[in-house]
Structure 1
Amino acid sequence: MVRLPVLFILVTMVIEAMGIGLIMPVMPALLEEVQGVGLSEAALWGSVLASAYALMQFLFSPLIGNLSDRFGRRPVLLVSMAVICLDYVLMSVAHTFWLLLVGRVIAGVAAATMATATAFMADISAPEEKAANFGLVSAAFGAGFVLGPAFGGILGEYGARAPFWAAALLAGANVVFGLLVLPETLRRPHAFDWRRANPLGSLHALNALPGLGALLALWFVFQVANWVYPAVWAYFTQSAFGWREGMVGLSLAVYGVSMIVVQGVVIRWVIPWLGERRTIAWFLPYNVVVLVAIAYVPNGTLLLLLTPLSALGALVQPAIQGLASRIADDDAQGELQGVLASITAIAAILSPLVMARIFNLATEGARHFPGAPFLAASGLMAMAWLLYRRQNARGVQA
């Protein structure tokens, strides 16, 4: 039976992960309403909101983690959830782009608490329970990625702001629940250290990872390409097939479920069978083909059929992580994971701006090729594949 404090943590992770996907199905309609622009230009404004959210998560995740070590898990988690509740109210009533931007900035800061939630689970877990409890946190976060777009798509049919009012009620109820059941678990507060709160600190570890430069470059290119899905999916499907919010949310939920199956099940036999190197070598070109197919897909039905197939391409990510982990020294594993996380965050900041601009250029005026961002992403995947082949041909580790 799940204890009530653990239930609060899991619900918090679901709500925070939902914040990423909740806005995706309704973003085109919301920005068209607020800015008075067409779909092509709305994608540009949407990319600014997406990048601002990612930037705040990148900047504030280490800071909030350190605050929880200083002041405790309970106040950090409760305050962040209360701020998320108020942010959803702000998004519900915002009638200017700048208020929407403020809302996304606040949401990005307040939702940067996964490290605090994980620390709480570590505090309350016996050594033999920690791995399983960390898995619960990850599973709840994954569930939020699936529920967010579905939630936003279904409620978006009742108006672009309806999902935010519902999410505000849910977050507010969770604050009350946390006030009643959440204990403080921090036993020995640590002094706050600005050096540990530096978001660029993990990138300093690059010097401690000799021989991994080419593989880290590969990771960056792959991440920029792969972020095309959340960056432009809602705009692409509406422009190409006229999908409404409900259909956009359903398709994103299908992608989320497919990702969970791939990362939780398929990976357990594909990578042991092929090994990391062949998984990278085979699935990078696989991604090229899938992205080209999405760029030119003639109807929405075929796109839905392609969605689970596109999720298979995500096998590249754990394969790169596994290979990098093999190459890095045993005492540099923490630095490696920090570098990978920082590179991923930078890609999440840059990719929406690039992909939305490509969509804008390909759809404004008389031009109409909404699949252009996916074609560009396929080119990046091809570049990543060539990088990998080149470093192998040179006999470089990676």
Structure 2
Amino acid sequence: MVMEGLTGLSHLFVTMFLTGFGGVIAIPAITDITMAALCPGQDECSLAIYLTGFQQAMIGVGSVVTTPLIGNLSDRYGRKALLTLPLTVSVIPQVILAYSRDTKFFYVYYVVRTLAAIAGEGSSHCLALAYVADKVPDGRRTTAFGILAGVGSAAFVGGTLAARFLPTALIFQVSAVFSMIGLVYMRIFLKDSVPGGGMRQPLLKEAEEPCLEQCADDSSNRTTGTFKKLPSLGDVICLLKCSPTFSQAAVVFLFNSLADGGLMSILLYYLKARFQYNKNQFADLMMITGIGATLSQLVFMPILVPLVGEEKLLSTGLLVSCINIFIYSISWSGWVPYALAGFSVFGVFVRPSICSIASKQVGPTEQGMVQGCLSGISSIANIIAPLIFSPMTALFLSEEAPFNFPGFSLMCLGLILMTAFFLSLMIRADPPIANDKVSSNRCAPTLA
């Protein structure tokens, strides 16, 4: 019963598993490689924290433009055609470190990784969500999003398990091979989900104006020309105005993404400085988290969604994540992060729930746009969070800290999640859109 309506998604799941495995296997090793390249023999390195935060911010700046753009283009030209780009560019950085991990090659990797992530880091997930929304009816969409997230978590577990036992010299070679296999598999087996998609029109061909122009007050003055039908700020503002539910979900998503972005940029360096974690310990911790997330998304979410709904799952996930980070910030021993890792079974409810709530607020021909909009919000958070929390973490881990609280930046992230939790309590989902355009359901009447 759970799998009913998911026919046709198996090739997407395989693709996301292969590419996810290829990307995740490198994560436990990259902190040690960065430290070895920039600060050999040290457990605390402010330069590594700053560079990682700067890279994440630059990726966020680029992704704000590229992810909504790619998501919107996929509504017209097909998910498969646009998915090829992020999967292709993700291979290149892994190939560089597979060749050499010397300092000069690390800097080349750093630049190429930044550019590749701008083009593809958020886009592949955005397109996968849009593909699922194309194939699955509203009533089962949260379950399908949860299963997609579970496939990603399974890839996370497999990748961290492989990283735990593979020598560093082989990790990036295996990563590059799996990423390439995922790309080839997708091109051969995945069928496009957009009827008539697949580049029947050239990307530079002029087309009719976006359907959301009815919402925008200045739609009659919209410029035309190259790359028409691309998302504009007016389209995003229109979408936010048309659906209060989407607006509330977007704000919650912003705060959650701020916390996630900050955690991503600082947590591994915090653990290395506080408890001298290395590649194997990172892999162990990530594997425990991934196993819990996989079980939660593949087993618990399909059972809980019909019983309690996306809104309550969202609030539960945010509350548990908030408590988790608060305890992280006061960790007194190296075993505490291991004990907290099991609570990931609740935290992973957040993103699939928000994506499902948002997807039900637009029509079937606007799924790429709405998922691209959410990815753009996440990218904005990834600009802001590292610029704030990377310097803060470096300061409180150094001898110049204003007071002795190494986990102060984590405490601040917990407060952000607490804000997201209280905001999530106010979400009241509107009935799903049944026709093709959000504008015809909600926007036009509000302008009458």
Please, which of 192, 195, 203 is the counterpart of residue 192 of structure 1?
203
Paired residue for 1:263?
Answer: 297
Alpha carbons 2:59, 2:379 under 8 Å: kept: no
Please, which of 14, 17, 23 is the counterpart of residue 17 of structure 2?
14
Distance 1:153 1:353 in 2: 31
Paired residue for 1:43?
Answer: 49
Distance 1:115 1:62 in 2: 9
TM-score by length of 2: 0.67
Distance 1:340 1:176 in 2: 28
Paired residue for 1:253?
Answer: 287
Q: Which moved more, 1:49-58 or 1:340-349?
A: 49-58
Paired residue for 1:30?
Answer: 33
Please, which of 88, 102, 116 is the counterpart of residue 111 of structure 2?
102
Q: How many Å apart are 1:223 and its aligned residue?
A: 2.4
Alignment of 1:1-398 (within 5 A): 10=13, 12-18=15-21, 20-36=23-39, 38=42, 39-41=44-46, 42-64=48-70, 66=73, 73=80, 77=84, 81=87, 83-92=89-98, 93=100, 95-96=103-104, 98-108=107-117, 109-110=119-120, 112-113=123-124, 140-155=151-166, 158-159=167-168, 162-172=170-180, 181=188, 189-192=200-203, 194-198=227-231, 203-204=236-237, 205-210=239-244, 213-270=247-304, 272-275=306-309, 278-279=312-313, 284-320=318-354, 328=361, 334=367, 337-365=371-399, 367=401, 369-387=405-423
Look up the equivalent residue of 1:34 and give its one-letter code.
Answer: A
Distance 2:362 2:65 in 1: 27
The C-alpha deviation readout for 1:164-190, integer Å capped at 9, x for no partner, is: 2222233445667778x5598656613
Look up the equivalent residue of 1:381 and give its one-letter code.
Answer: L
Name the CA shift for 1:354/1:100 in 2 (closer, same or farther; >3 Å): farther
The C-alpha deviation readout for 1:194-216, integer Å capped at 9, x for no partner, is: 24444867633223224654553
Alpha carbons 1:209, 1:336 under 8 Å: kept: no
Q: How many Å apart are 1:47 and its aligned residue?
A: 2.0
Distance 1:201 1:176 in 2: 37
Q: Tell me, what secondary structure is at the counterpart of 1:300? A: coil
Alpha carbons 2:259, 2:385 under 8 Å: kept: yes
Alpha carbons 2:21, 2:155 under 8 Å: kept: yes
Alpha carbons 1:50, 1:231 under 8 Å: kept: yes
Q: How many Å apart are 1:8 and its aligned residue?
A: 7.3
Look up the equivalent residue of 1:107 and give its one-letter code.
Answer: A
TM-score by length of 1: 0.74
The C-alpha deviation readout for 1:307-352, integer Å capped at 9, x for no partner, is: 12144134344555566678x5779984655543332332234334
Q: Which moved more, 1:252-261 or 1:8-17?
A: 8-17
Look up the equivalent residue of 1:247 and give its one-letter code.
Answer: Q
Structure 2 unaligned segments of length 5 or more: list them: 1-7, 205-226, 431-448
Paired residues, number: 381
Name the CA shift for 1:7/1:89 in 2 (closer, same or farther; >3 Å): farther
Q: Which moved more, 1:261-270 or 1:192-201?
A: 192-201
The C-alpha deviation readout for 1:113-142, integer Å capped at 9, x for no partner, is: 45667888999x999xx9899988655444
Distance 2:297 2:281 in 1: 24
Name the CA shift for 1:348/1:16 in 2 (closer, same or farther; >3 Å): farther
Paired residue for 2:214?
Answer: none
Q: Which moved more, 1:49-58 or 1:253-262?
A: 49-58
Name the CA shift for 1:104/1:330 in 2 (closer, same or farther; >3 Å): closer
User: Structure 1 or 2: larger helix share?
Assistant: 1
Look up the equivalent residue of 2:200 and give its one-letter code.
Answer: P
Alpha-carbon RMSD across the aligned residues, in angstroms, is 4.6
Q: How many Å apart are 1:362 and its aligned residue?
A: 1.1
Look up the equivalent residue of 1:101 and give its one-letter code.
Answer: Y
Name the CA shift for 1:151/1:63 in 2 (closer, same or farther; >3 Å): farther
Look up the equivalent residue of 2:16 and give its one-letter code.
Answer: M
Q: How many Å apart are 1:304 and its aligned residue?
A: 1.2
Q: How many Å apart are 1:237 and its aligned residue?
A: 2.1
Look up the equivalent residue of 1:146 and give its one-letter code.
Answer: V
Q: How many Å apart are 1:31 and its aligned residue?
A: 1.9
Name the CA shift for 1:23/1:192 in 2 (closer, same or farther; >3 Å): same
Alpha carbons 1:53, 1:104 under 8 Å: kept: no
Paired residue for 2:221?
Answer: none
Distance 1:34 1:201 in 2: 45
Q: Which moved more, 1:379-388 or 1:170-179?
A: 170-179
